């Protein structure tokens, strides 16, 4: 297009064009105009422009099509000075539409410049297109160009800050969700260190130290001498369990003391120490090094928010572990109480639990399923509470009537446990019901066959029989290993799942080690 002007005459007043130096880099400004002179004069007018210590990097496009291509290469363009009429009368408007709708770029500030306002009336353009300013070249002096670029960059800066804060908050939300969903200290610590280094954009050394290792046992005045390394990354990866005074050099240790004393976050040149506390416990500290330059105020707010959540999540994991440990202990003690009605039993339920876990892992069950089976398997004979002592402890073979009574313990156990909403107790109900079913359908209580028998029951069956045969009972002596292996092998395909029998034979050494580790109280070893 042909314009009779490039900029209107300047007033005499001078205005400074630079601000105090800040961070390094450049603001990208794209000039889209089919007149080379417009590019030249725009660059000249903004030659010494500076905002927050950043100068301008100019990108030139001489058509709408070229502008679209360059935008793909420079998605972080801050401002587009966009002519309306170029290869077509609406080329600039199509570029604006492309930016907002196809590229979905809402950050870049679009300033329309036109020498022919009649081609694109301002009111119509502002309403129909998502642009940020509209300037006629007859009014756009160098001073006004400076003003519009300055205000647009400030808007762009603020938009980026808001977006970065949003992204940071999203990370905090996801990080907190991950931390609160952790069911082990290992998961929790990995989550804390990884998420914090992600939020800060660093991946160097990180450390968590604490004196509050027991939930609900706060130390109001934390003694730095009692702080220990709870988890570490980088150079601290192998230092877990060591006193912090032995791990940290004096300058870093002083930062830890400062954070404890001030109960705040201490920022140094390339690292931070964050004090983490909640209403329950006190004294945990997070250390992260390798910070990517100066920490902004928004990042500091995110770190504060994150550090507040860390201690709460830490307690959440502790309480979760406490609940799970309590549940497991109750299961063990209940099972042992039932087993102790048979005066010759000792660590039977504990051995069966570990044998079940080993076979479950070998069978290919996921870790959580194998653990569930391990914790639930002690309940396999809980139904024996309903069996009279005279039958339960009879030193001779049971008669037919007594045997029918004894077999009811599987159904009794299932009925006791089946209505629980707890996963471990539900698994216990399944095991109690199915661990006397047989592969060929000749078992009890329901005569289930093959894979109709729950895998928990099939595994518990072989674990229970193996342990029972290897130990003394009121009606028999302990069997030697060779005889037990032979008996279980003969039961493959009839009493036991053939695949589990194969796995059992391949893991006999490990299973024997479990028996030796948890002997009955009245024996030093199995035969």
| Residues 6 or more apart whose Cβ sits within 8 Å of residue 254 | none
d(CA 6, CA 309): 57
Check if 54 is active-site: no
Q: Which of 402, 410, 524, 406 is nearest to 471 (CA)?
A: 524
The one-character DSSP state at 377 is G
For tokens 């209940």, the residue is: 334
d(CA 491, CA 460): 15
The string of DSSP letters for 209-237 reads EES--STT---SS--GGG-EEEEEEGGGT
Q: Which of 315, 330, 320 is nearest to 214 (CA)?
A: 315
For tokens 């629980």, the residue is: 420
Letter string b/e over residues 411-443, b meaning 16 or more CB atoms within 10 A of that residue's CB:
bbbbebbeeeeeebbbbbbbbbbbbbbbbeeeb
Rounded to 5°, angle at Cα 289 from 207 and 237: 35
| Residues 6 or more apart whose Cβ sits within 8 Å of residue 444 | 407, 410, 436, 437
Whether the CA torsion 295, 301, 306, 308 is positive or negative: it is positive
Instruction: Write down the number of H helices and E strands in the chain.
Output: 18, 10
Which of the residues 372, 384, 438, 448 is marked catalytic?
384
Cβ atoms within 10 Å of 261's Cβ, excluding its own: 12
d(CA 234, CA 363): 36
Rg of the chain over all Cα atoms, to the nearest angstrom: 37
Burial of residue 317, with CB atoms counted within 10 A of its CB: 0-12 exposed, 13-18 middle, 19 or more buried: buried
Q: Which residues are catalytic?
A: 384
């Amino acid at each position: 297009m042909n314009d009779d002007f490039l900029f209107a005459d300047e007033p005499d007043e001078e205005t400074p064009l630079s601000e105090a130096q800040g961070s390094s880099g450049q603001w990208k400004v794209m000039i889209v105009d089919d007149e080379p002179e417009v590019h030249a004069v725009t660059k000249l007018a903004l030659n010494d422009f500076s905002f927050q210590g950043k100068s301008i990097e100019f990108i030139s496009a001489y058509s709408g099509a070229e502008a679209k291509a360059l935008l793909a290469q420079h998605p972080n363009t801050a401002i587009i000075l966009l002519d309306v009429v170029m290869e077509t009368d609406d080329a600039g408007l199509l570029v604006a539409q492309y930016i907002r709708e196809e590229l979905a770029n809402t950050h870049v500030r679009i300033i329309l410049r036109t020498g022919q306002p009649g081609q694109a009336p301002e009111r119509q353009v502002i309403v129909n297109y998502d642009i940020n300013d509209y300037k006629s070249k007859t009014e756009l002096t160098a001073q006004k160009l400076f003003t519009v670029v300055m205000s647009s960059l400030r808007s762009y800066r603020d938009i980026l800050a808001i977006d970065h804060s949003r992204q940071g908050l999203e990370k905090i939300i996801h990080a907190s969700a991950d931390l609160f969903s952790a069911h082990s200290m290992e998961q929790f610590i990995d989550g804390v260190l990884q998420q914090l280094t992600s939020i800060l954009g660093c991946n160097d050394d990180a450390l968590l130290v604490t004196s509050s290792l027991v939930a609900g046992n706060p130390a109001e005045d934390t003694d730095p001498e009692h702080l220990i390394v709870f988890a570490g990354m980088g150079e601290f990866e192998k230092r877990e369990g060591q006193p912090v005074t032995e791990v940290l050099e004096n300058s870093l240790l002083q930062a830890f003391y400062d954070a404890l004393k001030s109960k705040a976050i201490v920022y140094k040149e390339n690292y931070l120490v964050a004090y983490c506390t909640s209403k329950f416990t006190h004294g945990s500290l997070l250390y992260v090094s390798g910070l990517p330059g100066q920490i902004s105020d928004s990042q500091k707010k995110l770190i504060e928010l994150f550090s507040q959540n860390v201690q709460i999540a830490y307690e959440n994991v502790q309480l979760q572990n406490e609940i799970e440990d309590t549940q497991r202990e109750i299961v063990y003690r209940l099972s042992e109480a039932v087993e102790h009605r048979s005066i010759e039993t000792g660590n039977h339920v504990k051995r069966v639990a570990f044998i079940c876990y080993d076979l479950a892992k070998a069978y290919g069950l996921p870790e959580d399923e194998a653990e569930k089976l391990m914790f639930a398997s002690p309940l396999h004979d809980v139904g024996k509470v309903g069996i009279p002592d005279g039958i339960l402890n009879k030193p001779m073979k049971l008669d037919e009537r007594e045997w029918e009574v004894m077999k009811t313990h599987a159904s009794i156990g299932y009925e006791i446990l089946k209505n629980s909403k707890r996963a471990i107790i539900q698994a216990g109900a399944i095991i109690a019901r199915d661990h006397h079913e047989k592969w060929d359908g000749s078992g009890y209580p329901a005569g289930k066959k093959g894979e109709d028998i729950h895998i928990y029951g099939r595994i518990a069956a072989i674990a229970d029989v193996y342990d029972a045969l290897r130990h003394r009972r009121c009606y028999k002596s302990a069997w030697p290993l060779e005889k037990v292996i032979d008996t279980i092998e003969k039961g493959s395909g009839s009493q036991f799942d053939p695949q589990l029998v194969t796995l059992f034979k391949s893991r006999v050494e490990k299973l024997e080690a479990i028996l030796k580790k948890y002997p009955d109280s009245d024996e030093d070893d199995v035969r």
